[in-house]
Amino acid sequence: MQPLSILVLHGPNLNLLGQREPGIYGAVTLAEINRLLQEQAAKMQASVFAMQSNHEGALVDAIHEALGQHQGILINAGAYTHTSVALRDAIAAVNLPAIEVHLSNIYRREDFRHHSYIAPVVIGQISGFGAQSYFLGLQALVHHLRKDEG
């Protein structure tokens, strides 16, 4: 089994996890999520490279740079989910398998959060399970990437 490399992208304001609206996003910090993702990935013979940015262009650049470096993308685009055609187009352009994750159930929140520009260009979307959304997303992505191995 070949080792896999997964790019994990965290969008705007996710650097404030653990402090920002814990009733919605929980008490877990981004550093804890990244540490747990690394542990889970290692058990699946994969590695994760995590990056957080509040800047749309930096996230687009990271998606472009994923070509030839990573086999898949796990993305929580935060608010850019609902506004960024640029992120949607970048994911479509690199044609790497990607999964969209959200800590909260975006469909139980404000109406403007019910639309995702990213959903049509990813394998699937997982939302509403807090930090577990990331772990479920990683599991699903690794499973998807491994299914053709044999």
Find out whether 84 is annotated in a ligand binding site.
no
- Cβ–Cβ under 8 Å, residues 101 and 127: yes
82 assigned binding-site residue: yes
Residue 102 catalytic?
yes
Instruction: State yes or no: is 80 an active-site residue.
Output: no
Q: Return d(Cα 111, Cα 88) in angstroms, integer.
A: 20
Is 35 labeled as ligand-binding?
Answer: no
Catalytic, out of 10, 25, 117, 134: 25
* Annotated catalytic residue within 10, 70, 80, 102: 102
Is 104 marked as binding a ligand? yes
Which residues, other chains included, contact 8 with Cβ-Cβ below 8 Å and sequence gap of 6+?
A: 34, 37, 48, 49, 50, 51, 73, 74, 75, 134, 138
Is 13 one of the annotated binding-site residues?
Answer: no
Please enumerate, by residue number, every residue annotated as part of a binding site for substrate: 76, 82, 89, 103-104, 113
Residues labelled catalytic: 25, 102
Please enumerate, by residue number, every residue annotated as part of a binding site: 76, 82, 89, 103-104, 113
